[in-house]
Structure 1
Amino acid sequence: MKARLAIASVLVAVLSATLAPLPVRASAPPAPAGEHGWVTSTLRHMSLEQKVGQLFATYVYGADATEPSAADRAANRAAFGVETPAEVVEEYHLGGVCYFSWSHNLDSPRQIATLSNGLQRAALGDGRKGRVPLLISTDQEQGVVLRMPPPAAQFPGAMALGAGRSPQAARTAAEITGRELRAVGIRQPYAPIADVNVDPANPVIGVRSFGSDPALVADLTAAQVDGFQDGAGVTAVAKHFPGHGDTDNDSHTDLPVINHTRQEWERIDAPPFRRAIRAGVESIMTAHIVVPALDPSGDPATLSPRILTGVLRGELGFRGVIVTDALNMAAVRQRYGDERVPVLALKAGADQLLMPPDLRLARDAVLRAVATGELSERRIDESVRRILTLKYRQGLTRSPLVDVDAAVRTVGAPEHLRAVTRVTDGTLTAVRNDDGLLPLRPADRSVLVTGWNTAAFAPIETVAQGFTARGARATARPATLPSDAVIAATAAEAAGHDLTVVLVNKAWDTTVTDPRGSQQRLVAALLATGRPVVVVAVRDPYDIAHLPGVRTYLASYSYTRAAMDTLVRALHGELSPRGRLPVTIPAADGGVPYPYGHGLTW
């Protein structure tokens, strides 16, 4: 049974009373004459094919718009029938492109900015009327979901910011992230997460959420909307409406059902979206989830007129762009075929259709729906008008291209990296320190750093280097999802060290992430040596409920270099942990040993 977490609203109310209120902006301010004139004139000169193209945003393969690698040419040909990213944009009159590392779009600031310029030139062509600049996007949530590689600023993610409890820090993270994205031509970061994570077994949201208290999530969501839009001039995207926080299914692979009553939805899920709309959020992303209390039909929210048009537009008053979550996810494809999904999403009230599994099929299905009268061209115009309005307000009609040299100077600027350190330092949470092991006393010690690792961030190596820099004899021994033999060898090695630091990542999830429970068994073997062990959860803080016997435990919520640097300094007493749990950690067998707001310091 899911653990429904208690909401500690008193703590948030006390904190909020000490903070200046965030500015509130109208969701849809009156359009200035220039905007109205450009949008209306552009729409009038667009063909139906151009209008329908504006509704779609998808990935393209390649680091360069016109000269991708041979492998990327082949991938584009297989997916889209043409070879280059520029040709994909031209062939389908795309309204948007979404960047990913796996599609080879994200390497360096210079490369990304150059790619963006090339794609914009393809979209604009010879400048004839009806040609429209692209809205380029990516999932830059920070923390465990980020796309821009170093030197880009890598801030802590949402749950870490929730632990820090600072709307100003959340705003700073969004503003600097947005400025770096804008510098390379990305104007639509798919953030912030407005989901309230009330289920510790949630496999898809977890640390991507600010926490389990709707008031805290609402505060930090509004702060990030302000940082992205007013601070950086990019479009914030609050997701995933109507709220993906109370499910133990992953919508990438299954269709989750949220069984909140209407009253529970109003109390738990709705507040962050209401605050985002009050803050002027320009875009909201849908969730592929079924919410019977809002729509008993069984359709996912992405395809539900009752939820998108009735609740989001009608009740909450949202007037911006509704973007679907990716249409290649299993949850939205289970009930209807790929040809029907984009049509049904538009009928439900969506504007921007993200990543259909077959772009040509999806495009042709929408055109056919207009031809048969299932969709009117007026309905298409409604969504295109919203998308054009957003592009105008982004300044894309005036300055679609970016300064590549300025992008190189902006991304990873020293002041940005200093801000990363400041923000991260306020997020680390000390959960247990039963033996008073921390902070570590000065000593000539040998240290084993082991457990979960990833080559992209190398947290094991970062922690070991931090100990070495402070005079310890540190050994980095990655043991990600270790075999029995590796567990035995690691425990034997730990017995010969004065201290072991072990990193764990979703050790609670023995269904998908770690089906053999190898992380839990590794920690048990290390504890059995009788030597001091510090356990650090580098993702979900819930792991401690599944690690009996652990007496020293910290939650960093992410494994970036900044997070690991903060950890090492805290272990040595160079800073005091200030984070407080933004969620309740229930015991595996019931009870609440670590309540919302818990956090130790020294």
Structure 2
Amino acid sequence: MTTTVEQLSLEEKIAQLVFVRMGSNLPPIVTASDDEERVAALLEDCPVGGLLLFNGVWPEVRASLGRLQAKVKTPLLVSADLERGAGQQLAGLTVFPHARAFAELGEQTQADLRRAIEITAEEALQAGVQILFAPVADANTNPKNPIIATRAYGEEPAAVAELVATVVDAMNSAGALAAAKHFPGHGDTSQDSHAELPSVDHPAEVLHRQELVPFRAAIAAGVPLIMSAHVCYPALDPSGEPATFSKAILTDLLRGELGFEGAVCSDSLLMAGATGRYESEAEMAAAALTAGVDLLLDLAHPVATVREMSAMVERGDLPLERVDEALGRVMRLKERVAGVTPFSPEIGAEQRDANRVFAAAAAEGAIRIFGDGPPPTLDPKKSTTVVLTKPFNLPTDPAKQPLADAIGQLLPGAQYFEFGPEIDQVAADAAVAAAADSDQVLLAVIAKPAAWHAFGMTDDQRRLAERLAADTKTIVASLGVPTILADFPADRPKLCTFSDVPASQQALARKLCGGA
């Protein structure tokens, strides 16, 4: 380290606890590299401890992060949501299926999951990202959960715990920093904490044998970070404070009872589950810090917030001891990755291709067929209609989903229709007519969690899907949660990929076409 803790001013100490965004995949979309100049200017005014990377492009992002690291006296911790591989936020690198898909690989689950994590860590570190906000340690016990769902490794706490421990161990071995989330458990909510404040109302004994089980496994495996949930747990904290702001949960339970000695990071402090409770962002950040959070993620106004928090310390409203304690944990994380970063050698095209082949194999192995009949197939010699629905439109979506190209290559004569949340009736009628005239029909439904977005099918999509599924020749596939398949007639052939990533969509097409 160029700068020691003793050399930091009070404002610099607090700034080291702050992580800010670099890039955005929400409107207005900005790549991480295009955001480099703004971040560099911010670092001059406020030497934050780390970055939250969004919408990076390989290999430009590697160069951008290298230049930013060269500007700072204390190395930056760079983090990203990489639950589905480095390609989730670094275009050009590998994208893996959602976590739930790996639980379907049977005997291969442990080995393939470990290899996927090794690839993710290797690619991330070579791009300059050290903290991978994974694994999701929530057991998805509520089938109506709109934000965890396929991001979890399953529904049974013990099974999830085993895979969470594998992820943590693999990341530790690879030199990356894992962050188990969302403590003490977001899996039994029916609300999205990005949009509102959920509550899990189980008795404490239920929380201990259900929600906490995977987190205990993560701690035993040596997880260096745990991310708090913007969720209330009245049995753990009767005051009603969300976990992010609850000393009873983050200090008494997590550190005192569970013995966690690593760093606690908040979930994004821009989320509705965190905002609106305090008069200023500084008061919100100070409350999280006081409760036991060490890394304050996603502040909107870092310069003003750091200054106001410094004034709180000087007035005696925020203990300096708590700042120093959090700072010590941040610095230990930086020391831990100092031998791994700056960057290891750039990953080559041949290795990236091999990584994508591995992801494709994992996606195909995860596909589950439901029902007792013969495996559903699509015959290239027969006329085919394919209809795909997606519950929302993202600014980063391609013009057509990957299934369109995959079907086009394997079934060149197939008719393909794609519908977002709002469906034009004329287009819907055209799809139904095409399906009626075809020998075989595939209805593919994307049902996945995403922040600030609807989960499942819209009313318009359900009406269209019901019209298509009324025909016995229709095959129904879920590109996400399997529970949505229960909405269709029991005698229809059904499949589930447990993910909608390109590899999973392409694997579905290959599976139905006999691996052609």
Decide: shared fold, TM above 0.5. yes
Within 1, Cα distance between the matches of 2:24 and 2:84? Answer: 23
Within 1, Cα distance between the matches of 2:491 and 2:461? Answer: 13
The answer to whether the aligner puts 1:539 opposite 2:488 as a matched pair is no
One-letter amino acid matched to 2:125 = R
1:129 matched residue in structure 2: none
Within 2, Cα distance between the matches of 1:243 and 1:71? Answer: 32
1:527 matched residue in structure 2: 469
Q: Work out which of the residue numbers 356, 361, 364 in structure 2 matches 1:417.
A: 356
Alpha carbons 2:388, 2:418 under 8 Å: kept: yes
1:51 matched residue in structure 2: 13
Matched pairs, number: 504
1:486 matched residue in structure 2: 427
Deviates more, 1:277-286 or 1:52-61: 52-61
One-letter amino acid matched to 1:234 = A
Deviates more, 1:355-364 or 1:513-522: 513-522
Deviates more, 1:318-327 or 1:137-146: 137-146
TM-score by length of 1: 0.78
1:161 matched residue in structure 2: 102
State the Cα distance separating 1:222 from its structure 2 match: 0.8
1:113 matched residue in structure 2: 62
Within 2, Cα distance between the matches of 1:54 and 1:470? Answer: 52
Deviates more, 1:165-174 or 1:203-212: 165-174
State the Cα distance separating 1:144 from its structure 2 match: 12
The answer to whether the aligner puts 1:197 opposite 2:140 as a matched pair is yes
Task: Give the alignment of 1:7-406 within 5 angstroms.
Answer: 42-61=4-23, 84-101=38-55, 106-107=56-57, 109-124=58-73, 132-142=74-84, 146-149=88-91, 151-165=92-106, 166-230=109-173, 232-337=174-279, 338-395=281-338, 400-402=341-343, 406=345
Alpha carbons 2:224, 2:262 under 8 Å: kept: yes
Deviates more, 1:335-344 or 1:45-54: 335-344
Say if 1:410 and 1:299 are closer, same or farther in 2 by CA, change over 3 A. Answer: farther
Within 2, Cα distance between the matches of 1:164 and 1:527? Answer: 28
Say if 1:94 and 1:524 are closer, same or farther in 2 by CA, change over 3 A. Answer: same
One-letter amino acid matched to 1:545 = A
Within 2, Cα distance between the matches of 1:410 and 1:417? Answer: 11
Q: Deviations over 1:519-542 (max 9, x none)?
A: 2211211133x3611111112222
State the Cα distance separating 1:416 from its structure 2 match: 1.3
1:20 matched residue in structure 2: none
Within 1, Cα distance between the matches of 2:424 and 2:491? Answer: 21
3-state SS of paired residue (2:193):
coil
State the Cα distance separating 1:443 from its structure 2 match: 5.5
One-letter amino acid matched to 2:78 = I
Q: Deviations over 1:326-370 (max 9, x none)?
A: 111111123323231110111111100001232233212321221
Within 2, Cα distance between the matches of 1:547 and 1:374? Answer: 58
Say if 1:543 and 1:495 are closer, same or farther in 2 by CA, change over 3 A. Answer: same
Alpha carbons 1:451, 1:460 under 8 Å: kept: no
3-state SS of paired residue (1:84):
helix
Say if 1:185 and 1:444 are closer, same or farther in 2 by CA, change over 3 A. Answer: same
Within 1, Cα distance between the matches of 2:330 and 2:267? Answer: 16
1:499 matched residue in structure 2: 440
One-letter amino acid matched to 1:217 = V
Within 1, Cα distance between the matches of 2:310 and 2:115? Answer: 43
Within 2, Cα distance between the matches of 1:508 and 1:280? Answer: 28
Alpha carbons 2:86, 2:93 under 8 Å: kept: no
Unaligned runs of 5+ in 1: 1-37, 64-68, 77-81, 125-131, 576-602
3-state SS of paired residue (2:210):
helix
State the Cα distance separating 1:469 from its structure 2 match: 4.0
Alpha carbons 1:288, 1:302 under 8 Å: kept: yes
State the Cα distance separating 1:470 from its structure 2 match: 4.2
Deviates more, 1:345-354 or 1:513-522: 513-522
3-state SS of paired residue (2:386):
strand
State the Cα distance separating 1:566 from its structure 2 match: 1.9
Over the residues paired in the alignment, what is the CA RMSD in angstroms?
Answer: 3.0
Alpha carbons 1:152, 1:412 under 8 Å: kept: no
Alpha carbons 1:449, 1:463 under 8 Å: kept: no
Within 1, Cα distance between the matches of 2:507 and 2:215? Answer: 32
One-letter amino acid matched to 2:225 = S
% identical equivalent positions: 31
Alpha carbons 1:343, 1:366 under 8 Å: kept: yes
Deviates more, 1:364-373 or 1:181-190: 364-373
Say if 1:350 and 1:411 are closer, same or farther in 2 by CA, change over 3 A. Answer: farther
One-letter amino acid matched to 1:191 = A
One-letter amino acid matched to 1:394 = V
Within 2, Cα distance between the matches of 1:501 and 1:282? Answer: 45
Alpha carbons 2:101, 2:497 under 8 Å: kept: yes
State the Cα distance separating 1:451 from its structure 2 match: 1.6
3-state SS of paired residue (1:382):
helix
